[in-house]
């Protein structure tokens, strides 16, 4: 009996990563999910990740404590930091070297369990604002993983970003096509009891629902 190919999906609790997980479910892989809990991350987001992973019946779900990491707006930088020179251009939710850290940890797990593919849920809009979401970045990171692991002797590791050409609207359309449980996802950046409806993520999500003429199953404070 042939073993299923093992795939690791980075799970954030939002629509993008959930769509990636369901796309991999369509291909009948043996699925593993990993979530990173950084400083001030809402418990609701971590809970959503666990609920999505449980609902999709993944083989194993890990939550990694990275509480030493914080978003740009919450971080304190010394005067010598180059980030202070361009702080007006940096998104408030930027985390220094975020994906370098996340995907390196995912690669550690991949080598441990014998997975060869790591999936990330970055979309077309992310590439505009975050330098560690570009195709070039992931191409170079993949080369580094394959150069720096013993496991690459039998497994050629790859990082795949299925949504790199998707807009937020495209992501929602795909979520509906895949019939994934949208009610389990969470996007709000300001509240965790009820979605605020006014932060960038909520506005983007609500706009996509309006564009397709459907109602978001989440409750909003509006």
Query: Do 106 and 167 belong together in one domain?
Result: yes
Q: Are residues 125 and 74 in the same domain?
A: yes
Residue in 132, 129, 100 with CA at minimum distance from that of residue 201: 129
State whether 125 and 214 are in the same domain. no
Alpha carbons 186 and 45: distance in angstroms, whole number: 6
Query: What's the domain range around 60?
Result: 6-180
Q: How far apart are CA 206 and CA 187, in angstroms?
A: 10
Do 19 and 115 fall within a single domain? yes
Does any domain span residue 1?
A: no
- pTM (predicted TM-score): 0.92
Mean pLDDT of the chain: 92
Q: Do residues 10 and 41 share a domain?
A: yes
| Cβ–Cβ < 8 Å for 164, 124 | yes
Q: What pLDDT, on the 0 to 100 scale, is given for residue 94?
A: 81
Is residue 152 in some structural domain? Answer: yes
Chain segment 2-54, per-residue pLDDT in tens: 689 999 999 999 999 999 999 999 999 999 999 999 988 899 999 999 999 99
Q: Do 47 and 125 sit in the same domain of this protein?
A: yes
* pLDDT beyond 80 at 92: no
pLDDT recorded at residue 165: 95
Same domain? 117 vs 192? no
- pLDDT of 1 higher than 50: no
Flag whether pLDDT at 87 surpasses 80: no
**Residue 60 CB: number of other CB atoms within 10 A?**
14
- Position 166 pLDDT exceeds 70: yes
Indicate if 176 and 207 belong to the same structural domain.
no
How far does the chain reach from its first CA to its final CA, in angstroms? 54
Residues 131 and 211 in one domain: no
Please check whether residues 166 and 200 belong to one and the same domain: no
> CATH code at 156?
3.40.50.620
Residue 86 pLDDT: 72
């Amino acid at each position: 009996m042939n073993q299923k190919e093992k795939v690791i999906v980075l799970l954030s609790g939002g629509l993008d990563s959930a769509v990636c997980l369901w796309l991999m479910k369509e291909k009948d892989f043996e699925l593993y999910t990993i979530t990173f809990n950084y400083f001030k991350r809402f418990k609701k987001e971590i809970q959503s990740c666990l609920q999505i992973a449980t609902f999709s019946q993944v083989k194993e779900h890990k939550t990694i404590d990275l509480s030493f990491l914080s978003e740009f707006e919450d971080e304190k930088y010394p005067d010598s930091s180059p980030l202070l020179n361009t702080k007006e251009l940096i998104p408030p939710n930027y985390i220094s070297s975020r994906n370098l850290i996340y995907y390196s940890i995912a690669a550690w797990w991949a080598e441990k369990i014998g997975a060869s593919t790591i999936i990330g849920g970055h979309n077309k809009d992310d590439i505009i604002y975050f330098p560690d979401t570009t195709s070039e970045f992931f191409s170079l990171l993949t080369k580094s993983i394959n150069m720096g692991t013993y496991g690459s002797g039998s497994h050629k590791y790859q990082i795949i970003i299925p949504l790199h050409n998707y807009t937020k609207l495209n992501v929602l359309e795909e979520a509906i096509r895949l019939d994934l449980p949208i009610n389990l996802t969470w996007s709000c950046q300001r509240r965790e009891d009820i979605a605020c409806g006014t932060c960038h993520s909520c506005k983007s999500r609500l706009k996509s629902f309006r564009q397709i003429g459907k109602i978001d199953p989440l409750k909003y404070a509006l």
